[in-house]
């Protein structure tokens, strides 16, 4: 059994930039405290073009954030320290102008992938609980049912705009446990 930490959108624009999520800086030490306990650490990244449909200028609800190849799209530098390159993977999302993709595994083919194996334990955390973490959790749970691995949520490593209610509700409905180091 492999254990995998899946960190959603731990990017500068969400931590202290254009679309700061309250409490995002507090998840950094929580994630850094556990990341070395995992066999693999996967990072998702919002990787938007300059005209992404989610931006207010394009009629979306959000300020411009995580534009590919900008400082705001970069990971917080401390999170990569001490992680060997062979332990890390990067999953890009929101790379085309439309549609909006909160979930990291939209269109993911469980039969043609090398991220997950039967028997894995995948722990998800990151930013923000009500949007990208929730939708990625929904994607991940569906994939886990197909492949045969377990999913847990590390709430201490998850920032939210207002509430964990939607994540907690989904966890309860689907028998998903909280990861407690």
Q: What is the mean pLDDT of each run of 10 residues along the chain (181 residues)?
A: 97 97 96 97 97 97 97 94 94 94 94 96 98 98 97 98 97 98 94
Per residue in 47-100, pLDDT (tens digit) is 999 999 999 999 999 999 999 999 999 999 899 989 999 999 999 999 999 999
Does 99 sit behind a cis peptide bond, omega within 30 degrees of 0 on the bond before it? yes
Active-site choice (104, 125, 128, 159)? 128
Whether 82 is catalytic is no
Active-site choice (12, 48, 52, 144)? 48
Active-site choice (13, 65, 104, 144)? 65
What is the value of pTM for the model shown? 0.97
Cα separation, 20 vs 14, whole angstroms: 4
Which helix or strand (DSSP H or E) is residue 14 part of? Answer: helix 12-16
Domain range annotation of the chain: 3-178
Per-residue pLDDT, 15? 97
Q: Does domain 3-178 have CATH number 3.40.50.850?
A: yes
Per-residue pLDDT, 171? 98
Whether 46 is catalytic is yes
Cα separation, 181 vs 179, whole angstroms: 6
Active-site choice (132, 136, 144, 159)? 132
In 47-152, which ranges are continuous DSSP H helix?
134-147
Per-residue pLDDT, 37? 97
**Contact (CB, 8 A) for 159 and 23:** yes
């Amino acid at each position: 059994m492999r254990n995998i930490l899946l960190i959603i959108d731990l990017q500068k624009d969400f931590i202290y930039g254009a679309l700061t999520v309250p409490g995002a800086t507090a998840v950094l030490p929580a994630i850094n405290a556990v990341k070395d306990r995992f066999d693999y650490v996967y990072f998702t990244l919002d990787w938007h073009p300059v005209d992404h449909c989610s931006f207010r200028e394009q009629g979306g609800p959000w300020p411009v954030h995580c534009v590919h190849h900008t400082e705001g799209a970069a990971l917080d530098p401390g999170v990569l320290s001490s992680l060997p390159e062979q332990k890390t993977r990067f999953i890009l999302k929101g790379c085309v102008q439309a549609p909006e993709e909160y979930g990291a595994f939209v269109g993911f083919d469980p039969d043609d992938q090398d991220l997950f194996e039967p028997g894995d334990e995948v722990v998800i955390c990151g930013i923000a609980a009500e949007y990208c973490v929730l939708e990625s959790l929904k994607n991940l749970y569906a994939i886990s049912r197909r492949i045969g691995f377990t999913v847990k949520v590390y709430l201490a490593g998850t920032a939210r705009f207002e509430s964990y209610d939607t994540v907690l509700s989904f966890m309860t409905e689907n028998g998903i446990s909280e990861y407690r180091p």
